């Protein structure tokens, strides 16, 4: 591995070029990670599914690797000979758990015996209901939609050695731009009808996309960061407060409808149970790296976020 400056305190400064293999470079989280890495001068090989996506990654300054996450033979060779591996992709199908495990195992084989860092993207839903503040030491209690996550986290952490640092990032619900659940709320508001699963009194841990990318950069370039890291702005915002702030920011105030959980389960499946989780999450280990979110509230930043949504949409 090429020597790099410990950038956990100042991630914009890196002594020598570092090379990262990234999955999900065109995805929501992966795009934020890619931008942060490229801003820091890191060389990124980014897995992408389509030629058009490859063109877009090239234009941003990455080295695209055309392949399919579920077909490791299409990309495993490109995952060797680098200094770090960041897995930010997720298969959008019923095979997501199987594909995710296969990707982890392939990336760990690429990292076997080499010094470097492996960063795996999990999520705060794995924690289940957490009505009192919890940090990275909390026991997990995942809803069915992410019941497979704990085993994948354990697989990654068990692979950590003196030469390979393994890291788990559990982002909150990501906001910013034109993707993600908060962006869907903007879309619904502009269309005149917003739906809230349950009563909306539950709290969502949230994190701004650019802030999340900065944390990945700090973790990749630190010399000793390892283990589990939560990533959220600690705003403890109730869903209904976010909804009402967005409803008040659009030109014509939309109707807001509360959807009973049973109805939501019938319409959108197991994600409904995740959307009603009440979670108060803390990120002390990320803060110890010098990470400090620049945005700490959706409701308090709604005008800025609406403009971002319109511009990127």
pLDDT at 7 over 60: no
Confidence of residue 162 (pLDDT cuts 50, 70, 90): confident
In a domain, 212, yes or no: yes
In a domain, 129, yes or no: yes
Confidence of residue 16 (pLDDT cuts 50, 70, 90): low
In a domain, 188, yes or no: no
Confidence of residue 2 (pLDDT cuts 50, 70, 90): very low
Instruction: Work out the number of other CB atoms within 10 angstroms of the CB of residue 95.
Output: 11
**Whether the predicted model's global pTM rises above the 0.75 cut:** yes
DSSP, collapsed to helix, strand or coil, labels residue 230 as: strand
Confidence of residue 12 (pLDDT cuts 50, 70, 90): very low
Pair of tokens at residue 223 = 């010399």
Region of poorest pLDDT, from 1-5, 58-62, 125-129: 1-5
The domain that holds 79 is classified in CATH as 3.40.50.720
- Treating both helix axes as pointing N-terminal to C-terminal, what angle do 96-111 and 149-158 enclose, rounded to 10 degrees? 0
pLDDT at 101 over 90: yes
In the chain, how many domains are there?
1
pLDDT per residue as tens digits for the range 252-302: 999 999 999 999 999 999 999 999 999 999 999 999 999 999 999 999 999
In a domain, 219, yes or no: yes
Half-sphere exposure of residue 10, counting CA atoms within 13 Å on the CB side? 5
Residues 122, 153: contact at Cβ < 8 Å? yes
Model pLDDT, residue 1? 42
pLDDT at 4 over 90: no
In a domain, 55, yes or no: yes
Task: Kindly state the percentage of the chain with pLDDT values over 70.
Answer: 95
Confidence of residue 113 (pLDDT cuts 50, 70, 90): confident
Q: What is the mean pLDDT of residues 115-123?
A: 97
**Residue 260, strand partner residues:** none
> Of 103, 73, 77, which is closest to residue 88 (Cα–Cα)?
103
In a domain, 262, yes or no: no
Confidence of residue 3 (pLDDT cuts 50, 70, 90): very low
pLDDT per residue as tens digits for the range 193-208: 999 999 999 999 999 9
In a domain, 78, yes or no: yes
pLDDT per residue as tens digits for the range 171-224: 999 999 999 999 999 999 999 999 999 999 999 999 999 999 999 999 999 999
Give the range of the structural domain holding residue 92, as residue numbers without chain letter: 19-174+208-232
In a domain, 284, yes or no: no
Confidence of residue 15 (pLDDT cuts 50, 70, 90): low
pLDDT per residue as tens digits for the range 225-252: 999 999 999 999 999 999 999 999 999 9
């Amino acid at each position: 591995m090429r020597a790099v400056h410990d950038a956990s305190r100042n991630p914009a400064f890196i002594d020598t070029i570092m090379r990262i293999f990234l999955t999900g470079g065109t995805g929501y989280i992966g795009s934020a990670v890619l931008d942060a890495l490229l801003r820091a001068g890191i060389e990124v090989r980014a897995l992408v599914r389509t030629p058009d996506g490859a063109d877009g990654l090239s234009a941003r300054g990455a080295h695209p690797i055309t392949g399919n996450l579920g077909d490791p033979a299409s990309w495993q060779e490109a995952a060797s000979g680098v200094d770090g591996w960041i897995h930010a992709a997720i298969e959008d199908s019923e095979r997501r758990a199987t594909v995710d495990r296969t990707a982890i195992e392939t990336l760990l084989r690429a990292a076997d015996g080499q010094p470097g860092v492996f960063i795996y993207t999990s999520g705060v839903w794995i924690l289940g209901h957490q009505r009192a503040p919890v940090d990275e030491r909390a026991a997990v209690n995942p809803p069915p939609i992410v019941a497979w996550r704990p085993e994948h986290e354990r697989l990654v952490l068990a692979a950590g050695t003196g030469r390979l640092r393994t890291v788990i990032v559990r982002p909150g619900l990501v906001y910013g731009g034109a993707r993600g659940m908060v962006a869907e709320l903007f879309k619904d508001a502009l269309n005149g009808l917003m739906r809230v699963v349950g009563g909306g009194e539950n709290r969502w841990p949230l994190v701004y996309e650019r802030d999340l990318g900065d944390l990945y950069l700090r973790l990749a370039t630190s010399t000793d960061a390892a283990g589990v890291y939560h990533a959220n702005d600690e705003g403890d915002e109730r869903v209904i407060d976010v909804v009402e702030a967005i409803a008040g920011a659009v030109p014509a105030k939309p109707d807001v409808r509360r959807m009973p959980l049973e109805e939501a389960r019938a319409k959108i499946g197991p994600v409904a149970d995740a959307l009603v989780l009440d979670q108060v999450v803390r990120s002390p280990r990320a803060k110890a790296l010098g990470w400090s979110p620049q945005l700490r509230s959706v409701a308090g930043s709604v005008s800025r976020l609406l403009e971002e949504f319109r511009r990127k949409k």
